[in-house]
Amino acid sequence: MAADLKRIEGRNFLIIGRAGMDMYAHPPGVKTEDAEYFYSALGGSSANIGVALVKLGSKASLVTSVSDDSVGRYCLNQLDHYGVDRTFVRSVAGEERNSLAVLETTNIDHQSVIYRNNAADFQMTVEDVRKPDYTAYSAAITTGTVFAGQPSRDAAFVAFDLAKEAGLPVIFDIDYRPYSWTSGAEAAEVYSRAASYCDIVIGNDDEFGVMAGDYDIGLAFAENLAKTSAQIVVYKMGHLGSITFTQDGSFKTGIFPVDALKPTGAGDSFMGAFIASMAAGMDVQTCVERGSAAAAIVVSNVACAPAMPTPDILEDFIASHPGITKP
């Protein structure tokens, strides 16, 4: 039975996924090997989405695990700084280490080096996801990285079951990271299972291609999801905009062109603004457009979490921008 998407208007979200540390080569535009020093920021797709939602007036609680060391504590402190509830974030001792990304603020030959060997967030357990009271939340959100390892994969599916039992809309950002998976075939199988639970699925053309097992049928796969299980599917195509499928049909949306400083953070900011706009009762097309505006803001600024827009910044950007492109 499909969840009632109006519940999202409660503006209180449970996010299942990872928090990490991002290290940006500084000054902007310099290559990592030539950096004078590095600028740190909260990272991790789920944590970034939580920041985006909180900045746009919602509440967000994160369920994950971080390493019991200085990097893990940095992530905890940053979650506190942004107002993302970390009641359900567990510190794990041992050899597991927190996710760490070394990135560049440049679009030219951009290098992102991600350290996720023996990642602490993969240690999230079934016991961890059973701790929240799912009935207290407006929706459950996760990103695909949570499914790439164990025991977090099994835990995430249990969380989906608990969310469905509580009547929550389940929202999934595919967020495919090849380096986290043993094969594309494994990712396709697991992601397809995850998507079958979900009321809203968001991803780009490459990600839907992986889920479908063939890039050429990714669009058809996305459309079929909206006909069979999901209520909303957003198929993003980079500079070409997006196609959104609902149970009533489909529509195309353009982008807000900007001089991008970096390619990272667009998906997390899109998700945050899209869901925050749904929580404000806006129609789906407006939600997609506002998600696109938030993505444009983040890629034209340094870092991800710090660049997530507030309502004033988002409104000012939309009001002052020449306008969204025609798809």
Our separate counts of H helices and E strands in the chain read: 10, 13
Position 117 confidence tier, pLDDT thresholds 50, 70, 90:
confident
Q: What is the pLDDT of residue 268?
A: 97
Position 2 confidence tier, pLDDT thresholds 50, 70, 90:
confident
Average pLDDT in the chain: 96
Q: What is the pLDDT of residue 179?
A: 87
**Is 265 among the domain residues?**
yes
Neighbours of 310 (CB within 10 A): 12
Position 141 confidence tier, pLDDT thresholds 50, 70, 90:
very high
**Is 53 among the domain residues?**
yes
Report the distance separating Cα 236 and Cα 260, nearest Å.
Answer: 17
pLDDT digits 0-9 by tens, 61-72:
999 999 999 999
SS3 content of the chain, % helix, strand, coil (to 5): 45, 25, 35
| Long-range contacts at 82-87 (CB < 8 A, ≥ 24 apart) | 82/42, 82/50, 82/51, 82/54, 82/55, 82/305, 83/54, 84/47, 84/50, 84/51, 84/54, 84/60, 85/59, 85/60, 85/61, 86/61, 86/62, 87/61
pLDDT digits 0-9 by tens, 8-36:
999 999 999 999 999 999 999 999 999 99
Decide if pLDDT at 228 tops 90: yes
**Is 113 among the domain residues?**
no
- How far from 255 is each of 80, 92, 102, CA to CA, in Å? 32, 41, 27
Q: Which residue has the tokens 């990600």?
A: 207
**Is 151 among the domain residues?**
yes
**Is 117 among the domain residues?**
no
Position 119 confidence tier, pLDDT thresholds 50, 70, 90:
very high
The count of structural domains within the chain is 1
Q: What is the pLDDT of residue 70?
A: 96
Position 219 confidence tier, pLDDT thresholds 50, 70, 90:
very high
Any idea what the CATH number is for the domain that residue 183 is in?
A: 3.40.1190.20
Single-letter amino acid code for the residue at 311: P
**Is 111 among the domain residues?**
no
Position 240 confidence tier, pLDDT thresholds 50, 70, 90:
very high
Q: Say which DSSP state 92 is in.
A: E
Decide if pLDDT at 107 tops 90: no
Decide if pLDDT at 326 tops 90: no
Q: Output the pTM of the full model.
A: 0.97
**Which H/E stretch holds residue 278?**
helix 266-279
The whole-number average pLDDT for the span 293-307 is 96
Report the distance separating Cα 275 and Cα 278, nearest Å.
Answer: 5
Q: Residue 183: name the closest of 153, 213, 208, 203 by CA.
A: 213
Check: CB of residue 288 under 8 Å from CB of residue 276: no
Report the distance separating Cα 208 and Cα 43, nearest Å.
Answer: 24
The reply to whether omega before 151 is within 30° of 0 (cis) is: yes
Half-sphere exposure of 143 (CA within 13 A, CB side): 28
The whole-number average pLDDT for the span 133-145 is 97
Decide if pLDDT at 108 tops 80: yes
The whole-number average pLDDT for the span 274-295 is 98
Position 44 confidence tier, pLDDT thresholds 50, 70, 90:
very high
pLDDT digits 0-9 by tens, 63-104:
999 999 999 999 999 999 999 999 999 999 989 999 999 999
Burial class (CB in 10 A: 0-12, 13-18, 19+), 246: middle
Residues in the chain: 327
Decide if pLDDT at 128 tops 80: yes
| SS3 state at 252 | strand
Please give the residue range of the domain that contains residue 294.
5-17+46-64+124-320
**Is 32 among the domain residues?**
no
**Is 274 among the domain residues?**
yes
pLDDT digits 0-9 by tens, 145-201:
999 999 999 999 999 999 999 999 999 999 999 888 999 999 999 999 999 999 999
